[in-house]
Structure 1
Amino acid sequence: MASAPDHLFALRNSFYLGAYQAAINLSTSLNNLSEEDSIEKDSLVFRSYVAIGAPELVIGEIDSSKPTALQAVKLLALYLHRPENKETVITSLKEWLSDAAIGSNPVLRLIAGVVYMHEQDYNEALKHTHSGGTMELHALNVQIFLKMHRSDYAEKQLKIMQQIDEDHTLTQLANAWLNLAVGGSKIQEALLIFQDFSEKFQMTALILNGKAVCNMHMGHFDEAEHLLLDALNMDAKDPETLANLIVCSLHLGRPSSRYLSQLKLSHPAHMLVKRISSAEENFERAVQTVA
């Protein structure tokens, strides 16, 4: 019979790899945890509810009596799902981070990093995440540096993670992200990591997207499309699946308008939507100028 630490380990991995409902289900088996582990469990469960699009449950259940880590998750739910509250959330984050009593909380710093990364304010994100402290913070640093096109700094963060635990799921994920950014012969290494995940863990849209992006880099767009359609069956609103299907369809010479419409409806602030909208506006202006 699996012990509580085994269940918490499985819950973490499920969350890291995007098996959010599985993480929620696993949490029901976790009892008699230490206070620290209990807070971590609740944090991952509430973040899973945010990820599956149930922010109201998170916002409703986390009141002012809850620990700082959970209050931070509530801010994330408000930020991602109530756009009218973005400025309020950022103001609250700044106040909490400057509070000596709670400002160093790792989950609060992690949420701050995620929010500022969404804001594309990478320097502000790193201000709160760069010191690390948890594997999630190190992994987020890798993501931020890759967003900044600084694979050299991302590699330094990965080496820190490898020194802590080379086999950790987040270390392997970060390694795959870096390999994809570097490209070339590293793409095959990234594919092997995602393949290993698919053999060890429950298949998720995150794993399928990882394998698909590797195949797209290698020019195998038919295989990538097959993987992405499987991912779409798992989650019809997943933004990365829809974005990757748009790109894949264009390479295959197939219509992508349906996927773009879905992405615009479910994730209007997605980077690809913004880029396409900007390109369409520029085209319209050019047409009017010529006319």
Structure 2
Amino acid sequence: MDELFELRNYFYLGNFPAAVEEGTTIAVESDATRIERDVILARAAIARGNHDEVIQQVSDSSPVAMQAVRLLAMYRKDPAGQREIAELTLREWVADPVSGSNPALLLVAAIVFSEAGNYDDALRCAHNGQSLEHSALKIQILLMIDRADAARKELEGMKRTDEDHTLTQLASAWVNLAAEDADTIREALYTYQELLERHGSTDLILNGIASCQLALKQTAEADATLQEAISRNPNCPETLINMITVAHQRQKPAELIARYFAQLQTVDPGNPWVQSFIAADALLSALVASPPV
């Protein structure tokens, strides 16, 4: 019996309140299971923006898996300020013959490296992990660098391991959404809709549906989906990014778009999308201010 099955499933689907409730009430028998439970609960706290909660609860004497998650919390809280020390520390831990094979450490390292744009190290860490979650993360990284072909190959491996697993279903949706033809994108949409029917609404599922609708030029439907998402959680970065995209496409008032962007900057100032937008805006302002040649 997998004691953490429900907890993992809630986490994978982005149902963090349910994950916390499950994780704080479930009884676990072994130390290894307890550590894995604590790692998932800490990651759920990070996903909800509760970085300080994790930073304060984990000490230098905690298991390496929990120390890795604390490092993730520190990085997510201040990406620019913590990037160098986070990458340096993770490289040391991954190279260590004792800690280097720890699944949670490899997962966190792959996450941090990918968010820092260090895709080679990210892929290496994800590849060295043995779980479906490592494979799913590897697929996300491959899609970031426009390697949909390699991502689909990795997905086939996940399907051979467990075709019905929630992570396999999610990875299938990610890969199909990255396709260029409408029929394949519709397959991604159907997958998200099936997950919605089976598990209910979460930020992850609703944003997945909205992303498919946007890719299919269904902007009105995407708008309606995102309105549901933002009414559930007005502070979800993915929802706010998609709301900005839909607002642009539907030519909504600039004041509304500015409000969404200000909210996004408040809840997730280090978000790569925010940083890219600010950099592009600064470049445009500099070009406008430059005297003609």
TM-score (normalizing by structure 1)? 0.94
Corresponding position of 1:264: 265
- Alignment check: 8 A CA contact 2:107 2:129 kept: no
- Alignment check: 8 A CA contact 2:177 2:184 kept: yes
Asked if residue 61 in structure 1 is aligned to residue 62 in structure 2, the reply is no
Q: In structure 2, the residue corresponding to 1:182 is in which secondary structure?
A: coil
Corresponding position of 1:128: 125
Corresponding position of 2:209: 211
- Alignment check: 8 A CA contact 1:78 1:86 kept: no
Return the letter of the residue paired with 2:232: M
Corresponding position of 1:17: 13
- Alignment check: 8 A CA contact 1:97 1:104 kept: yes
Which shows bigger deviation, 32-41 or 66-75?
A: 32-41
Corresponding position of 1:94: 91
Asked if residue 233 in structure 1 is aligned to residue 240 in structure 2, the reply is no
Structure 1: distance between partners of 2:34 and 2:249: 47
Q: How does 1:113-124 map to 2 (within 5 A)?
A: 113-124=110-121
Structure 2: distance between partners of 1:95 and 1:285: 40
Corresponding position of 1:152: 149
Asked if residue 188 in structure 1 is aligned to residue 189 in structure 2, the reply is no
Structure 2: distance between partners of 1:91 and 1:272: 24
- Alignment check: 8 A CA contact 2:106 2:128 kept: no
Q: Deviations over 1:141-175 (max 9, x none)?
A: 00000001000110111011101100000001000
Asked if residue 39 in structure 1 is aligned to residue 35 in structure 2, the reply is yes
Q: In structure 2, the residue corresponding to 1:28 is in which secondary structure?
A: helix
Return the letter of the residue paired with 2:66: L
Structure 2: distance between partners of 1:277 and 1:55: 24
Q: Deviations over 1:33-59 (max 9, x none)?
A: 222222211110111011111122211
Structure 1: distance between partners of 2:246 and 2:145: 24
Change (3 A) 1:281 1:65: closer
> Shift in Å at residue 286 of structure 1?
2.7
Structure 2: distance between partners of 1:130 and 1:157: 10
- Alignment check: 8 A CA contact 2:55 2:74 kept: yes
Q: 2:101 aligned to 96, 100, 104, which one?
A: 104
Change (3 A) 1:115 1:164: same
Q: In structure 1, the residue corresponding to 2:25 is in which secondary structure?
A: coil
Corresponding position of 1:249: 247
- Alignment check: 8 A CA contact 2:162 2:168 kept: yes
Return the letter of the residue paired with 2:62: K
Structure 2: distance between partners of 1:131 and 1:108: 11
Q: In structure 1, the residue corresponding to 2:200 is in which secondary structure?
A: coil
Change (3 A) 1:32 1:274: closer
Structure 1: distance between partners of 2:286 and 2:52: 41
> Shift in Å at residue 290 of structure 1?
4.8
Q: In structure 2, the residue corresponding to 1:261 is in which secondary structure?
A: helix
Structure 2: distance between partners of 1:245 and 1:227: 10
Asked if residue 80 in structure 1 is aligned to residue 96 in structure 2, the reply is no
> Shift in Å at residue 271 of structure 1?
3.0
Identity of aligned residues (%): 38
Q: Let me know the Cα RMSD of the aligned residues.
A: 1.6
- Alignment check: 8 A CA contact 2:209 2:225 kept: yes
Structure 2: distance between partners of 1:260 and 1:28: 35
Q: In structure 1, the residue corresponding to 2:32 is in which secondary structure?
A: helix
Q: In structure 2, the residue corresponding to 1:237 is in which secondary structure?
A: coil
Structure 2: which 5+ residue stretches go unaligned?
none
Return the letter of the residue paired with 1:211: I
Return the letter of the residue paired with 1:246: I
> Shift in Å at residue 232 of structure 1?
1.3
Which shows bigger deviation, 110-119 or 29-38?
A: 29-38
Change (3 A) 1:219 1:109: same
Q: In structure 1, the residue corresponding to 2:128 is in which secondary structure?
A: coil
Structure 1: distance between partners of 2:28 and 2:118: 40
Structure 1: which 5+ residue stretches go unaligned?
none
Which shows bigger deviation, 218-227 or 28-37?
A: 28-37
